Chains A and B, each alone.
Chain A
Amino acid sequence: MVHDELQQSKLSMPDSENGAPFSVLQQLIGLQQEYHYVPRHEIDRLAVSSGVSESHIIGLIEFYGFLHTTPRGEYDILFSDNITEQMQGSHLLADLLSKGLGVAIGTTREDRRVSLDYTSCIGMGDQGPAALINGQTITRLTTNRIGQIIQLIEASTPLSQWPKTLFEVESRAERRDIVLNSEYQPAAAIEACLKKGPAAIFSQLEQAGLRGCGGAGFSTAAKWRFCASAAAEERFVVCNADEGEPGTFKDRFLLQSHAERLIEGMTLCAAAIGARTGFIYLRGEYRYLLDSLQRVLDQRRKERLLGNAILAHDDFNFDITIHLGAGAYICGEESALIESLEGKRGIPRPRPPFPVTEGYSGFPTVVNNVETFCNAALIIQQGPEWYRQVGTTASPGTKLLSISGDCDRPGIYEFPFGTAIAEILSQCGAHQTMAVQVGGAAGRLIPETEFNRTIAFEDISTGGSFMIFNQNRELLRVIENFTQFFRHESCGFCTPCRVGSSLLVKQLNKVMVGHATTKDLEEMSILGSLMQKTSHCGLGQTAANPILDGLGKFPKLFQSRLRATSFEPAFDLDASLEEARLLTGRDDPEAHLEGGGV
């Protein structure tokens, strides 16, 4: 039933890679789709055919959120659990589905028809609440749609026969600037590179001042140059299409509507650095884009813009393979992404060496964000002055923002760098805004007093996430959501992050339930700054940002919930004896505890 339809979209793996350790993750994703889990006999078979150990394979399954060793339902439903979707009522809808189907959230129904759970943001903040069903995206959930889904599942309707409207993902921009207004001319950038040579390309990108659009803002020209100049027999081009930062969905738009630009940018990079192989690391949540991306790749192969002898240059061969992620936020970090491409758990590598010198398979590798490749292609097509006509000196050009939360027109907005937050809020129709979270959970919480600040690398830098909260929102819930997100997504490799992210959740919970005192806030600050200083990668270094920003900019949120005493227990002492009282039937004075601290 559901199987046949899934088989079609099974990953196409180049034959040469089958059986190799690097392909193990992709094969596991295929097995998960086929069986709704990875059965033991397949693990054994894969271990033999790939030459990696069973424990390595089980390690992978346990690491990636979308892989399972126990059977999931034929319909495996994951609700996106980002805060903006919670604000749209996603929890009520999930509860409705849970009741309607008779399956508790976080479990699989006994007849294995359906599983229900939450997952981290799936990049549909502008058309939520959204969910994944067997990896396919369902948008704009309503009580009606939930009712419809219950009927379809109870009738065992194959996913391929579900109404197409359920799966519609709108792809349009609410505001366009120079980049989205420019017409893309196929092959213009690649031809320019083949004609003028790599040095000219690097210098044009440098003049344009293009910086990495994933948020870090590293000079693209410098990155490409470093990679080209590293002595090696092979080089690789990798597109980071793993935008997992909660509230980000601008790459989704580019992948859906402007994939040619991306491929052009990657091919341009390959021509400039001398690479024969490229990868698009597509987050598992965007699986619905897989077929359309494959079609764009095929089309370009037909047009001789990809593959062997590109544009009739016998010595320019370059092709691109799509790798799927499997539900791990950390794989958006470039070295973790490379590990994942190599079929391993996505644990960030120590840096240096950076990927530009030792990346995929140990070879020099350029890893860039989707938007960066798109912009690079257009800059070479239009010239650097075109890009510099907007933006600021330190941050030329524009930035795509994914705007969600409390505003009239959530969606994709292209703004010149240097645009003030207040201006953005007014254009998307935000009213009575209390705060904006810029840059996702790892970004910064900006209060109203700072709305004159601008989106720019020299001011507030962002990968594109822009979540708006009006004055009716409980900001502590927002902070709690982000803090829980980091605990869930910590890869577990280093202690400050693994333990620290759990402790932060506990400490914050103590505040939320009204058991905290001033001392607990001090403890949270100390813990947060310890995590910033000692974590292995950016995840742990930013996991405390929501709490630290909250404490710094909205101290009253926390203080109003504090007890006046010097210290309070983290939980209700007497209530935690209730279960024992019930089991023993006791209610004598000794069976109770006085509340409060000492």
Chain B
Amino acid sequence: MSSPIKVATASLAGCFGCHMSILDIDERLIDLVGHIQFDRSPLTDIKKVGPCDLGLIEGGVCNAENVEVLKAFRRQCKILVAVGACAINGGVPAMRNQYSLADCLEEAYLHGAGIDNPQIPNDPELPLLLNQVHPIHEVVWIDYFLPGCPPSADTIFTFLDELLSGRPIQFAYQQIHYD
């Protein structure tokens, strides 16, 4: 392994489960520390992504901010990876795709049980929702896809390890198959 690579991560329309799986690498994190330097990531709280070697994206694209973040990652990262089911397919958040956005918002903010002062939020601070939730490869080019909900720590470690060593990326069958 050579000089440290810069890594950025983000969770878009995800549950942070994939980030938990990154942390689940456990003591092998210590092996990685010398080789990886984090840029923007929930782990560093850096807000803006800078030039990076690798970007890991969890979650699909559900709102305008997700689009901006994803595009910024694509601009800055040499390699961009879709991590987990939501980034790859839209996952659980995409279940709303079978309803119209109006139905979703009205159910949540107007007609749902126990709502006080019903209104659809319209503060300019809030990112607007897209009418559908999309997998990230429908917005930017993605170099690698790590399937799983979440991909196991082992899969993520193998990916980083192979990438750092410059080998072609290969997984054991059970690392990316779930049958």
Q: Is the CB of A583 within 8 A of B120?
A: yes
Q: Mark A226-251, 1 if CB is under 8 A from B, else 0.
A: 00000000000000000000000000
Q: Are B67 and A584 in contact, CB atoms less than 8 angstroms apart?
A: no
Stretch of B5-13, B14-22, B35-43, B99-107 at the chain-chain interface: B99-107
Binds A, one of B24-32, B130-138, B151-159, B162-170: B130-138
Chain B: which residue is nearest A577 at the CB level? B128
A590 to B67, CA, bound (A): 12
How far apart are B60's CB and chain A's nearest CB, in angstroms? 13
Question: B141 near A: Cβ within 8 Å?
Answer: yes
Per the CB 8 Å criterion, the residue count for chain B at the interface is 25
**Who on chain A is nearest to B102 by CB?**
A583
Q: Is A409's beta carbon under 8 Å from chain B?
A: no
How does the 8 Å CB contact mask read for B81-113 relative to A, with 1 for contact and 0 for none?
000000000000000000011100100000000
Beyond A579-B101, A583-B105, A590-B124, is A567–B130 a contact (Cβ under 8 Å)?
no
Count of inter-chain pairs, beta carbons less than 8 A: 64
**Residue among A571, A584, A593 making CB contact with B120, cutoff 8 Å:** A584
Contact of A580 with B128 in the complex, beta carbons under 8 Å? yes
Q: In the bound complex, what is the Cα–Cα distance between A175 and B134 (angstroms)?
A: 53
Whether the pair A579, B138 counts as a contact (CB closer than 8 A) is no
Among B68, B122, B141, point to the contact of A584 (Cβ < 8 A).
Answer: B122
B100: chain A residues at CB < 8 Å are 579
A580-B140 contact given A586-B128, A590-B124, CB 8 Å threshold:
no
Measured between beta carbons, the chain B residues less than 8 angstroms from A519 are 141
Q: Is the CB of B130 within 8 A of A580?
A: yes
When distances are taken between beta carbons in the complex, the residues of chain A under 8 Å from B102 are: 579, 583
CB-CB under 8 A from A553, the residues of chain B are none
Neighbouring B residues of A586 by C-beta, 8 Å: 122, 124, 128
The verdict on A13 contacting chain B, using a C-beta distance below 8 Å, is: no
Among B71, B121, B132, B141, contact of A576 (Cβ-Cβ < 8 Å):
B132
Given A578-B131, A586-B122, verify A597-B140 contact (CB < 8 Å).
yes
Produce 1/0 per residue, A546-585, CB < 8 A to B: 0000000000000000000011011101001111110111
A569 contacts which chain B residues (CB < 8 A)? 138-140
Asked if A579 and B139 sit within 8 Å, CB to CB, the answer is no
Complex Cα–Cα for A36 and B71 (A): 51
Q: Are B130 and A576 touching (Cβ within 8 A)?
A: yes
**B46 at interface, CB cutoff 8 A:** no
Q: Does A15 contact B (CB under 8 A)?
A: no
Tell me which residues across on chain B come within 8 A of A578, comparing CB atoms: 131
A598 in the interface, Cβ–Cβ < 8 Å?
A: yes
B129 beta carbon closer than 8 Å to chain A:
yes
A588 within 8 A of B: yes
Contacts of A199 in B (CB 8 A): none
Query: Quick check: A567 and B122 within 8 Å, CB to CB?
Result: no
Beta-carbon contact of B141 and A567 below 8 Å: yes
A567 touches B140 (CB 8 A): yes
Shortest distance between the CB of B16 and any CB in chain A (Å): 24
A470 CA to B131 CA, complexed, in Å:
39
The residue of chain B having its C-beta at the shortest distance from the C-beta of A574 within the complex is B64
A598 contacts B75, CB within 8 Å?
Answer: yes
Query: Any chain B CB within 8 A of the CB of A591?
Result: yes
CB-nearest residue of chain A to B179: A495
A598 contacts across to B, CB distance below 8 A: 71, 74-75, 140-141
A495 to chain B, nearest CB (A): 9
Please report the C-alpha to C-alpha distance between residue A576 and residue B63 in the assembled complex, in whole angstroms: 9
Q: Which residues of A contact B134 (CB under 8 A)?
A: 570-571
CB contacts (< 8 Å) of A570 on chain B: these are: 134, 138-139
| B164 smallest CB distance to A (angstroms) | 25
B101 with A580: CB separation less than 8 A: yes
Partner of A571, one of B129, B138, B141: B138
**What are the residues of chain A within 8 A of B138 when measuring CB–CB?**
569-571
In the bound complex, CA of A550 to CA of B175 (Å): 36
Nearest Cβ on chain A to B32's Cβ, whole angstroms? 28
A400-440 with Cβ < 8 A to chain B: none
20 more contacts with CB within 8 A, not counting A569-B140, A573-B139, A583-B120, are: A569-B139, A570-B138, A571-B134, A576-B131, A576-B132, A577-B64, A577-B129, A579-B100, A580-B101, A580-B129, A580-B130, A583-B101, A584-B120, A584-B128, A586-B122, A588-B124, A590-B124, A591-B124, A591-B128, A597-B140
Q: What are 23 sample pairs from A and B whose C-beta atoms fall under 8 A apart?
A: A567-B141, A569-B138, A569-B139, A569-B140, A570-B134, A570-B138, A571-B138, A573-B67, A577-B128, A579-B100, A579-B131, A580-B131, A583-B105, A586-B122, A586-B128, A590-B124, A590-B128, A591-B124, A593-B68, A597-B140, A598-B71, A598-B74, A598-B141
Interface residues of B (CB under 8 A from A): 64, 67-68, 71, 74-75, 100-102, 105, 120-122, 124, 127-132, 134, 138-141
Q: Which 9 A-B pairs have the closest CB atoms?
A: A584-B122, A570-B138, A567-B141, A580-B128, A598-B74, A579-B131, A576-B130, A579-B101, A569-B139
Q: Which residues of A contact B (CB under 8 A)?
A: 519, 566-567, 569-571, 573, 576-581, 583-586, 588, 590-591, 593, 597-598
